[in-house]
C-alpha cells in the first residue's frame, strides 16, 4: 500500500470483514478474529499513515461495540 486511496480501500474491506465476523462468530471471538485480519494491512502501511489507519480501525471496533470509544470525539 502506497497511497491513501489504497489504504482507504483496504480499510473498507476490513469494515466489511468486521461486519461479517460480527454476524458469523460469537462476540467474544470477533476481536481476535478481526485482529488476524488487520495484520496484513497494518504491516504494509507507510509510517506517515500509521496513525490514520490505527484511528480508523479503532473507530470500526468502537462502532461495532467491541471496544469502548475513548477517543476525544467519542
Give pLDDT tens digits along the chain (74 positions): 679 999 999 999 999 999 999 999 999 999 999 999 999 899 999 999 999 999 999 999 999 999 998 766 65
Counting the structural domains of the chain, the total is 1
The pLDDT score that the predictor gives to residue 70 is 75
Is 22 inside any structural domain? yes
Which range of residues forms the domain containing residue 18? Answer: 4-63
- Give 7-12 contacts, CB < 8 A, sequence gap 24+: 7/45, 7/49, 7/52, 7/53, 10/41, 11/41, 11/53, 11/56, 11/57, 11/60
Is 72 inside any structural domain? no
Is 74 inside any structural domain? no
Is 19 inside any structural domain? yes
Q: What are the grid coordinates assigned to 53, written together?
A: 489507519
Is 24 inside any structural domain? yes
Whole-model pTM over 0.85: yes
Amino acid at each position: 500500500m502506497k497511497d491513501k486511496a489504497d489504504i482507504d480501500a483496504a480499510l473498507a474491506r476490513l469494515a466489511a470483514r468486521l461486519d461479517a465476523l460480527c454476524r458469523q462468530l460469537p462476540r467474544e471471538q470477533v476481536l481476535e478474529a478481526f485482529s488476524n485480519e488487520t495484520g496484513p494491512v497494518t504491516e504494509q502501511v507507510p509510517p506517515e499513515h500509521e496513525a490514520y489507519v490505527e484511528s480508523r480501525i479503532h473507530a470500526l471496533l468502537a462502532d461495532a461495540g467491541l471496544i469502548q470509544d475513548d477517543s476525544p470525539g467519542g
